[in-house]
Amino acid sequence: NAGVTQTPKFRILKIGQSMTLQCTQDMNHNYMYWYRQDPGMGLKLIYYSVGAGITDKGEVPNGYNVSRSTTEDFPLRLELAAPSQTSVYFCASSYLKPPGSGANVLTFGAGSRLTVL
């Protein structure tokens, strides 16, 4: 069981470039999330997915896109990278039962540190 695997671990982009952060989980979790964490700050939700084919915006979705074609994979696409997107990105997954019926323990990936220059 690898858990949540993110690639790449580090990346430097030039302004205006595009890239995709990959995320895959092998726990058969239905929910997947992308968070960003700016230096010394908390976790802000970018996008999340409740299952294959379904995605929803979080708190800070602008400048990003996601897709969820399979249960396992949830890539995050950055179009036209900007310095404000310099951050550490965490993918996470969880198995969420119907609302109110239980816990929602998130398993995080190791993070991807992105610098936009």
Partner 1 sequence: GENVEQHPSTLSVQEGDSAVIKCTYSDSASNYFPWYKQELGKRPQLIIDIRSNVGEKKDQRIAVTLNKTAKHFSLHITETQPEDSAVYFCAALGNTPLVFGKGTRLSVIA
| Residues binding partner 1 (CB under 8 A) | 31, 33, 40-43, 45, 48, 58, 90, 99-100, 102-106, 108-111
Q: What are phi and psi of 84, to 5 degrees?
A: -70, -10
Token code pair at residue 93: 């997954």
| Burial class (CB within 10 angstroms; exposed 0-12, middle 13-18, buried 19+) of 113 | middle
Say if residues 50 and 56 touch (Cβ distance below 8 Å). Answer: yes
66 vs 109, beta carbon nearer partner 1: 109
Token code pair at residue 8: 């790449």
17 vs 27, beta carbon nearer partner 1: 27
> How near is the Cβ of 103 to partner 1 at its closest, in Å?
6
> How near is the Cβ of 6 to partner 1 at its closest, in Å?
9
> How near is the Cβ of 100 to partner 1 at its closest, in Å?
6
Kindly give the pairing relationship between strand 10-13 and strand 112-116: parallel
95 vs 108, beta carbon nearer partner 1: 108
